[in-house]
Structure 1
Amino acid sequence: MAKREIAQPDEAPLPVRARLAREQMGILRSFNAMQDNILSIIPEIATQKPVVSGRTARRWHMVMHPPSIRRILLDRVEDYPKSVVTKNLLQPAVGDSLFIAEGAHWRWQRRLTAPAFSHRNVRNLGPIMTSAAERSAARIAGAGRRAVNLLDEMIAATFDVIADVTFSDDGSFDRADIHRAIEDYVAEAGRVSLLDVLGAPDWVPRPARLWSAQSMAEMRRSADAAITARAARGPGLVPDLLDLLLAGEDPTTKRRLTTGELRDNLLTFIVAGHETTALSLAWSFYLCAFDQGVQERARAEAQAVLQGRAATGEDVDQLPFIRQIIDEAWRLYPPAGVVSRTAQKADILHDAEIQPGDTVMIPIYALGRHALLWENPDRFKPERFADRRAIDRYAYLPFGDGPRICIGASFALQEAVIILATLLSRFRFTPVPGRDPKPVMILTLRPEGGVWLIAEPV
């Protein structure tokens, strides 16, 4: 890891930051900390060292060394599958989908689903994102001078998008039921269980996940019914994501996704596709309100390009500073704050000896704030992404990397740029005193308390 010159911080305030661990914690303290905020188990020293190792029921290693991260995610990806804890958290919601599957089953699903997220197909979905941005602007304008919770607003806007691009809003499933089931799962069943910390077998029931099982089962039945109805009716004039996946076929075996496989992957896209983008946008608005100079520069860029209209997919490449804000928000507040793997073979990562069964974590939150990789890492500086070639590929991982890089990365970026540019071009956002959000990770890294801002038309 190449050591960077660490600039001395000035007296300007910094955006909110999670409090990381100052001392080693035992099993019970770790469990209690994770119930409140998974980020709180990351040692502060993880923002300064390449690798930190310890033991809490089992051996673990946190890796912030870019060459070692490349080894985990790319060079020896088969030796570092997703951890059992990760699978236990997510499988009740998304089944054996692309996000969970391993080996040949994963490769086959990836091969079949990837064409649906081609640049052309994502760009064709731009009008849906533009319409959602327009509706969001109307809701914010309708609030008048009252404070608006941009977290709730972005969750509503991105859920509109993902519902329309998956099911064309054809009435074949209940938006409210799906949304409620997702929110319940993220809030409760997504919490790490003490049984997970102790390494209990995955067949041992986790009470919180049983509690949410009924709503998740209803969501799966609703999705199954929508898929069956669409298969019988056929695609619409403009194919949506479900149409594209139904038409997908393995060129060699002619195999297609079953209804169950389709449902699990669609629910993966719905859960991940709206939750992560909503969080990225909420944090982006918080940062723009925090730094009015950045906001003014972004507004000038958006207004010059848009000339009063909402942004479209074709505008994305003309809005580089808007994208830099989103990139910087992903660095400071990555939706997936920690990535966890289970080592299958002995290995060496930097100077850490890895044994089979060890938990190997990439704390994305600490990686983005690492003193050896970023100048003034806690400072909000979108312009650091003006030259992306200067950034180590494995120091910045909002979507992961290697063969398992997030399939929806281009979708999320296009959606975020369209919504952020549209709203910044029409409103000036200022913070509500005393209402700073708190970075808290349960399943994803959320701004606890919401992002409360005053929006004034410009």
Structure 2
Amino acid sequence: MTDHRPIPARSEPVKVPLGKRPLGVFGSLAAGRRNILELIPEIATHAPILSGRTGKRWHMVMDPDALRHILRENVTNYPKSVVTKLILEPAIGDSLFVAEGQEWLWQRRTAAPVFSHRNVAALAPVMSAAADRACARIAAGAGRAVNCYDEMVTATFEVISDVTFSDGEGFDRASVHRAIEDYMAQTARVSLLDIIGAPAWVPRPGRLMSGAAMRQMKRVADGSIQRRRAEGNPGVPDLLDLLMAGEDPKSGRKMTTPELRDNLLTFIVAGHETTALTLSWALYLCAFDPAVQAAARAEAQAALGTRAATAADIAALPLIRRIVDETLRLYPPAAFLSRTAQAADTLCGREVLPGDTIILPIYALHRHHALWDRPDSFDPDRFTATKPVERYAYLPFGDGPRVCIGANFALQEAVIILATLLARFRFDLVPGKAPKPVMILTLRPEGGVWLNVTPA
């Protein structure tokens, strides 16, 4: 692949320093609590599979055919890992994201129509309005450094709040973020008991002493659902209405208040933070490569003029969509997944035993030298239609039956907001303020994404 764009002063955007030597139990614990991606050895970006033992047997899989087997062909053998459930269940219960088997299936069938193409397209005006408000806030601070991560969190929270509770009966953004930060600080980090493979019933002390803010979020959500049941919603149907009206087409089962609450919290927390992360990293990458940013700005201005982007504009914004795709390759929010094998199997010629941990290091997969040309470089043109990407080499939303239910919603929102911002502003790096990619539950820019912003 030939790239004629000028090379920035720094040839590659920021990345995680992957391990060069075995960590052992306590080294793995320290890395997992500091930045879980540091558990990935650098060799994972060259090998199809790695196996080992750190308390429990594990297999780290980067081979597309093996990933297809895990995520689609033999998906029932690879449910979410014990550690994943221990971390997530206190926050979002047995919701769609955590549930398995028939419990997952009926919830998926019930929620799928909520995220149909028609419903997602109907929500685009909410996204356009949030993009306009973000521009107004940024314009007020233009000419100085702006923490674009904070701005994108505000924008995407407005979107998810408005589409979930159109009557205004929602969550306070500050309280949601206190809950998320508290949860990640105390509950979402890997425990020594996780590393050595202690059974799920053994209490993890850090998780017993946290979660007050998350419990308060659950109380607020329960109150909102109960009010909606009693009073209804005279306005436009929102996500809560659609979920309340939804029923499993096979059994006719509807969600109870706790089931509605756990799924709403999943959509609210995951649905705004992951898109905020994508937008923040995309703005950093555009600032990193001014030539790409200039081309994207020209595309956005030609399509939009001075207005906010809409769903109807997305077809006229192919470069901006490619920037979003490349951002999700370099900085996938869900960059490290794990499963627990239920029965014996074989992956890439390796024996898998019941109880083995199967690690899907999406971060390493997306930077694998056998699958990507210049894998650590920022190159949106690798996603052109003439260069098809191998399906299981690129998994920002997972795949198979459990592919992210909100993927189309997230992509539409990201393109609308990014195009609107790039049409109106120029973003430049702040010397000495490069973001640091750190993953606990999601791949975040530690310290924020600070960029100089000026009107375009």
- Is the 1:440–1:446 contact (alpha carbons within 8 Å) kept by the matching residues of 2? yes
- Is the 1:162–1:270 contact (alpha carbons within 8 Å) kept by the matching residues of 2? yes
Offset of 1:12 from its aligned partner? 6.0
Cross-structure match for 1:323 = 321
Q: Which one-letter code corresponds to 1:297 in the other structure? A: A
Cross-structure match for 2:370 = 372
Identify which of 70, 80, 98 aligns with 2:96.
98
Cross-structure match for 2:199 = 201
- More displaced 10-residue stretch of structure 1: 158-167 or 178-187: 178-187
Instruction: Report the CA distance shift for 1:389/1:234 in structure 2 as closer, same or farther (over 3 A).
Output: farther
1:32-61 deviations in Å (ceiling 9; x for gaps): 011111111101000001001111001111
Identify which of 365, 388, 391 aligns with 1:390.
388
1:216-251 deviations in Å (ceiling 9; x for gaps): 111111100100101112234311100100111223
Q: Distance in 2 between matches of 1:435 and 1:341?
A: 36
Offset of 1:351 from its aligned partner? 2.2
Tell me whether 1:19 sits opposite 2:17 in the alignment.
yes
Question: Among the aligned pairs, what percent are the same residue?
Answer: 63
Q: Secondary structure at the match of 1:53?
A: strand
Tell me whether 1:136 sits opposite 2:144 in the alignment.
no
Cross-structure match for 1:313 = 311
Q: Distance in 2 between matches of 1:173 and 1:372?
A: 45
- Is the 1:330–1:398 contact (alpha carbons within 8 Å) kept by the matching residues of 2? yes
Cross-structure match for 2:58 = 60
Q: Distance in 2 between matches of 1:87 and 1:113?
A: 21
Q: Distance in 2 between matches of 1:379 and 1:254?
A: 49
Cross-structure match for 2:348 = 350
Offset of 1:313 from its aligned partner? 1.6
- More displaced 10-residue stretch of structure 1: 161-170 or 225-234: 161-170
TM-score by length of 1: 0.96
Cross-structure match for 1:211 = 209
- Is the 2:127–2:417 contact (alpha carbons within 8 Å) kept by the matching residues of 1? yes
1:103-160 deviations in Å (ceiling 9; x for gaps): 0000000000000000010111111111111111111111132200111111111111
Offset of 1:252 from its aligned partner? 3.6
Q: Distance in 2 between matches of 1:153 and 1:207?
A: 35
Identify which of 426, 431, 434 aligns with 1:433.
431
1:305-341 deviations in Å (ceiling 9; x for gaps): 0011011122122211101001001000110111100
Q: Secondary structure at the match of 2:107?
A: helix
Q: Which one-letter code corresponds to 1:160 in the other structure? A: E
Cross-structure match for 2:360 = 362
Offset of 1:391 from its aligned partner? 0.8
- Is the 1:132–1:157 contact (alpha carbons within 8 Å) kept by the matching residues of 2? yes
Q: Which one-letter code corresponds to 1:261 in the other structure? A: E
1:279-322 deviations in Å (ceiling 9; x for gaps): 11110000000000000000011000001101112212221110
- More displaced 10-residue stretch of structure 1: 387-396 or 406-415: 387-396
Offset of 1:176 from its aligned partner? 3.2
Count of aligned pairs between the two proteins = 451
Q: Secondary structure at the match of 1:390?
A: coil
1:406-446 deviations in Å (ceiling 9; x for gaps): 00000000110011000000000000001111111111111
- More displaced 10-residue stretch of structure 1: 74-83 or 153-162: 153-162
Q: Which one-letter code corresponds to 1:367 in the other structure? A: L
Alignment of 1:239-258 (within 5 A): 239-258=237-256
Q: Distance in 2 between matches of 1:73 and 1:153?
A: 34
1:145-181 deviations in Å (ceiling 9; x for gaps): 2200111111111111111111115235444323321
- Is the 1:174–1:222 contact (alpha carbons within 8 Å) kept by the matching residues of 2? no
1:345-395 deviations in Å (ceiling 9; x for gaps): 111111221111110011000000000000010110001001276211000
Alignment of 1:38-437 (within 5 A): 38-168=36-166, 170-387=168-385, 390-437=388-435
1:163-214 deviations in Å (ceiling 9; x for gaps): 1111115235444323321232133321111111122222333233233321
Q: Distance in 1 between matches of 2:409 and 2:178?
A: 23
Q: Distance in 1 between matches of 2:249 and 2:38?
A: 47
Structure 2: stretches of 5+ with no match in the other structure:
none
Q: Secondary structure at the match of 2:57?
A: strand
- Is the 1:173–1:226 contact (alpha carbons within 8 Å) kept by the matching residues of 2? no
TM-score by length of 2: 0.96
Q: Secondary structure at the match of 2:151?
A: helix
- More displaced 10-residue stretch of structure 1: 150-159 or 290-299: 150-159
Offset of 1:274 from its aligned partner? 0.7
Instruction: Report the CA distance shift for 1:368/1:252 in structure 2 as closer, same or farther (over 3 A).
Output: closer
Q: Which one-letter code corresponds to 1:387 in the other structure? A: A
Q: Secondary structure at the match of 1:55?
A: strand
Q: Distance in 2 between matches of 1:208 and 1:196?
A: 12
Q: Which one-letter code corresponds to 2:385 in the other structure? A: D
Q: Distance in 1 between matches of 2:291 and 2:387?
A: 25
- More displaced 10-residue stretch of structure 1: 170-179 or 93-102: 170-179
- Is the 2:123–2:163 contact (alpha carbons within 8 Å) kept by the matching residues of 1? yes
- Is the 2:166–2:236 contact (alpha carbons within 8 Å) kept by the matching residues of 1? no
Cross-structure match for 2:26 = 28
Q: Which one-letter code corresponds to 1:383 in the other structure? A: D
Tell me whether 1:443 sits opposite 2:441 in the alignment.
yes
Structure 1: stretches of 5+ with no match in the other structure:
none
Q: Distance in 2 between matches of 1:60 and 1:128?
A: 44
Q: Distance in 2 between matches of 1:195 and 1:72?
A: 26
Offset of 1:263 from its aligned partner? 0.3
Q: Distance in 2 between matches of 1:388 and 1:93?
A: 43
Q: Which one-letter code corresponds to 1:302 in the other structure? A: A
Q: Distance in 1 between matches of 2:288 and 2:101?
A: 44
Q: Secondary structure at the match of 1:180?
A: helix
Q: Distance in 1 between matches of 2:287 and 2:387?
A: 28
